[in-house]
């Protein structure tokens, strides 16, 4: 009997959570409806506690009375954890496989998209590797690094390009010297590195995708999405990658089985993939909710 009651309460609570997410979307346009339930329960739970709300319905009243609470909710739901050269194997693969392949080819430009870039450590790390490789190989190429995130606050910090001592501790000292300027207790990214990157807000759930990339880096975001949303986003990425373009995912991420044939695996440990042209896959492309 107690187990049955617990189950009924959990189901009611899940229904209320879905109701709350729909309401937040209708009122403010934040679309977290297809984020993983566990993440939502954990993160919204913090807001409930902070505002002494016992249920999602009570919390909805708080949102109605205090619209500033929406921003706090948004901040809790966009998890900005990141670092320079996060996950060694990914950056080794970029340095040893991807960048040499992109620089070797005949093309005069390289187009890279860092999606869900948070406060910028990821695109700056990629830019450092590219600069190093081009210098060593005495090569000049037009480089476009588009770095996007749903969170304007994170992007504002990314654009400033000022990082603490602790943040730059993950970067090789010779590169810190080359690409950063000491500024008190912090380090400021040198203009020539900053120039390579365009930071922009972009919501991968609802905004149109940009086109024609040699490399898309989408790490540690898909883990927060439910499977149908992951699949939709990866299909969009596939469409916007050039033929044979690279995709780098986060350590705990991989293309779902439903996407078999869209990406070939280059390095499983690094989560590095390459796209296969759509006409060879038999998979239909559909951006709409399924």
Ligand X SMILES: C[S@@+](CC[C@H](N)C(=O)[O-])C[C@H]1O[C@@H](n2cnc3c(N)ncnc32)[C@H](O)[C@@H]1O
Binding residues vs ligand X (CB under 6 A): 78-82, 86, 116-118, 122, 149-151, 154, 202-205, 219-221, 250
| CA distance to 47, 92, 96, 276, per residue, from 172 (Å) | 38, 14, 17, 35
CB of 188 to ligand X, least distance (A): 20
Tokens of 250: 């986060």
How many angstroms separate the CA atoms of 77 and 46, rounded? 10
CB of 224 to ligand X, least distance (A): 6
| CA distance to 3, 19, 28, 55, per residue, from 9 (Å) | 10, 15, 28, 11
CB of 68 to ligand X, least distance (A): 19
Q: Which is nearer to ligand X, 29 or 173 (CB)?
A: 29
Q: Which is nearer to ligand X, 53 or 112 (CB)?
A: 112
Q: Which is nearer to ligand X, 117 or 196 (CB)?
A: 117
Is the Cα torsion angle 121, 126, 127, 133 positive or negative in sign?
positive
| CA distance to 54, 117, 165, per residue, from 86 (Å) | 37, 12, 16
Q: Which is nearer to ligand X, 157 or 188 (CB)?
A: 157
CB of 90 to ligand X, least distance (A): 9
CB of 206 to ligand X, least distance (A): 8
Q: Which is nearer to ligand X, 150 or 216 (CB)?
A: 150
Nearest to 256 by CA among 233, 239, 289: 233
Tokens of 140: 């000049």
């Amino acid at each position: 009997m107690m187990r049955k009651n617990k189950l009924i309460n959990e189901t009611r609570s899940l229904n209320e959570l879905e109701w709350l997410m729909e309401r937040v979307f209708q009122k403010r346009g934040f679309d977290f409806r297809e984020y993983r339930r566990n993440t939502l329960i954990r993160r919204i739970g913090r807001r409930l506690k902070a505002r002494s709300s016992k249920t999602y319905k009570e919390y909805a009243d708080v949102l109605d009375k205090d619209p500033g609470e929406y921003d706090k909710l948004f901040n809790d739901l966009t998890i900005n954890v990141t670092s320079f050269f996060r996950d060694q194997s990914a950056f080794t693969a970029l340095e040893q496989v991807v960048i040499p392949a992109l620089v070797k080819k005949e093309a005069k430009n390289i187009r890279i998209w860092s999606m869900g870039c948070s406060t910028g450590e990821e695109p700056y790390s990629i830019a450092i590797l590219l600069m190093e490789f081009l210098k060593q190989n005495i090569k000049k190429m037009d480089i476009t690094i588009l770095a996007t995130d749903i969170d304007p606050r994170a992007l504002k910090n990314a654009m400033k390009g000022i990082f603490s001592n602790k943040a730059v501790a993950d970067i090789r000292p010779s590169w810190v010297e080359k690409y950063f300027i000491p500024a008190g207790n912090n380090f400021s990214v040198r203009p020539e590195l900053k120039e390579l990157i365009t930071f922009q807000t972009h919501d991968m759930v609802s905004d149109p995708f940009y086109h024609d990339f040699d490399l898309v880096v989408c790490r540690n975001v898909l883990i927060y999405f439910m499977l149908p949303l992951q699949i939709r986003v990866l299909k969009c990425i596939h469409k916007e990658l050039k033929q044979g373009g690279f995709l780098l995912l986060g350590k705990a991420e991989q293309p779902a089985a439903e996407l078999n044939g869209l990406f070939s695996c280059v390095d499983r440990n690094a989560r590095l993939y390459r796209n296969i042209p759509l006409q060879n896959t038999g998979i239909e492309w559909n951006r709409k909710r399924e």
